Amino acid sequence: MMSFGKPGKENGVFLWAKTYEDGKEIFKRAIELGINYFDTANVYQMGTSEEITGRYIKDFGLDRDEIVVATKVNFEMRPGRPNGGGTSRKNVMAEID
């Protein structure tokens, strides 16, 4: 899912990222082909990849028990803060929220 999210350097590293609307048909086709595993990370387009992934799951009315979403939370998202990154329980819970 790193190809999905709000494009632009200020939002991450991928200027070519697909917005929600631009990626909708790609995600739909993946579901039609039986793909049910989606990998993302908090740093992909500064979290917008995760947001779009969740919106697709909701908007397509997918059974959450039939979809696997993998993500990573180690990356620093709140620079300069003691728990702004890493795998402490506090940071993992903050990233889940």
Active site residues: 44
Per-residue 3-state assignment (H helix, E strand, C coil) for the chain: CCCECCCCHHHCCCCCCECHHHHHHHHHHHHHCCCCEEECCCCHHHHHHHHHHHHHHHHCCCCHHHCEEECCCCCCCCCCCCCCCCCCHHHHHHHHC
